[in-house]
Structure 1
Amino acid sequence: MTAPEATNNPCIPCGACCASFRVDFAREELQSEGGCVPDGLAIELTDTLARMRGTDHARPRCAALVGTVGQAAGCGIYEWRPGPCREFGLRAPMGIGDEACARARARHGLPPLP
Structure 2
Amino acid sequence: GLFLAMHYTSDIATAFSSVAHICRDVNFGWLIRNMHANGASFFFICIYLHIGRGLYYGSYLYKETWNIGVILLLLVMMTAFVGYVLPWGQMSFWGATVITNLLSAV
Same fold by TM-score greater than 0.5: no
Instruction: Calculate the TM-score normalised by the size of structure 1.
Output: 0.25
Q: Rg: which structure is higher?
A: 2
Comparing both chains, which one has the higher relative contact order based on Cα–Cα distances under 8 Å and sequence gaps of 6 or more?
Answer: 1
Higher strand share: 1
